Each structure stands twice: as C-alpha cells, then as structure tokens.
Amino acid sequence: MAQPEEPGRRRGSIRQRGSSLQVRFFAGKDPVTGRDVYLTASIAGTDRKAHKRAEDKLAEFRTQVNKQRSTPSSVKLGYAIAEWLRTSDPNPRVAPRHGR
C-alpha cells in the first residue's frame, strides 16, 4: 500500500540548470547500502511548457515510486547473499547438514 507524503515535506524538486530544468525525486533508501536513491530527469528549456513537462515528470516519478514495494538496489545478488550468510546465525544442528 502506498504511503502518503508527509505534510510539509516534499520528496521531489524542479530546479533550473543552465538552459534546462532538472527534476529530482527521492525514491527511498537502498536496502543494502543505506544510501539515498533519487530518480532524476532533465527537461530541455525553461519556459512555461518546459515547467509543465517537468511537473508531469515529477508526477510520473511519484506514481512510479508509490507503485514500488521496495527501492531497487545497486548491489549484486552475490554480495547480498554473502552479507546475509556472514551475518546470519544458523542453527548449529542444521549447519552440519549443508556439507553433505
């Protein structure tokens, strides 16, 4: 279920970068590294039409993030499994059976 945005806190922004607009939206935290993940896009121009396209892109990002159950990680599966194995505490009666 999508969580509503906190009142008074914006998760996205539009800012002018030279002759274009940058759209940036906070997508959450990477579950493995803990780093912030942002979706970004560049919109050509700075006129009213460009601002409208930027608002539309921001709405698209908001919808995309709200549909996701978790933020995609940039970490490879092998690394995640190795970390899980390193930090897991296997049952001593079950662990010897893995070597068969």
pLDDT in tens, 10-38: 789 999 999 999 999 999 888 888 899 99
* Contact assessment for residue 63 and residue 25, using Cβ atoms and an 8 Å cutoff: no
Task: Provide the domain limits for residue 16.
Answer: 12-73
Does residue 21 fall inside a structural domain?
yes
pLDDT in tens, 32-46: 888 999 999 999 999
List the strands of the sheet with 12-17, edge to edge. 12-17, 20-29, 36-44
Q: In degrees rounded to 5, what are phi and psi of residue 59?
A: -65, -40
* Contact assessment for residue 20 and residue 53, using Cβ atoms and an 8 Å cutoff: no
Total domains in the fold of the chain: 1
Does residue 32 fall inside a structural domain?
yes
Does residue 92 fall inside a structural domain?
no
Query: What pLDDT, on a 0 to 100 scale, did the predictor assign at position 66?
Result: 83
Does residue 28 fall inside a structural domain?
yes
